[in-house]
Amino acid sequence: MASLIPKDKRQLRACLICGIVQNHHVFRDSGCPNCNRYVSMAGQNDMVTDCTSGTFDGVMAVLQPKKSWVCKFAHVNTSQPGIYASHVYGRVPEDIEDTLTRQGITYHPRDGSADE
């Protein structure tokens, strides 16, 4: 449980694809635990900058994503346990969105723009 909560609260970023919240250096060193199979961020600082945002609102602790209706509503019910942002401001670049589409992944913008 303690490993899910970022220890250093500085430089927190949220993934624009899945919404998981981690420190910048964790995204840079390990990538996103949910999105690595689609977009490789590990070792690529530019990709971390493109696919994450430091501007987000609200967080939710996800322990059992497959059993949670909140996770289903937030489109993280197939994701890893962790801390997730309710809203992440920004969008992935168009080329990354195209890559996700080619891989059969529906991109759900986490800034609320899809609801409009």
What local confidence, expressed as pLDDT, does residue 116 receive?
43
Structural element, H or E, at residue 21: strand 21-23
The string of pLDDT tens digits covering residues 71-115 is 777 777 778 888 889 899 999 999 999 999 999 988 888 877 754
**For 48-73, what is the mean pLDDT?**
86
Q: What is the predicted pLDDT for the residue at 66?
A: 81
Token pair 């609260």 is found at: 9
- pLDDT (tens digit, 9 = 90+) per residue, 12-51? 999 999 999 999 999 999 999 998 888 999 999 999 999 9
Tokens representing residue 74 in the block: 């937030």
Write down the pTM of the prediction. Answer: 0.84
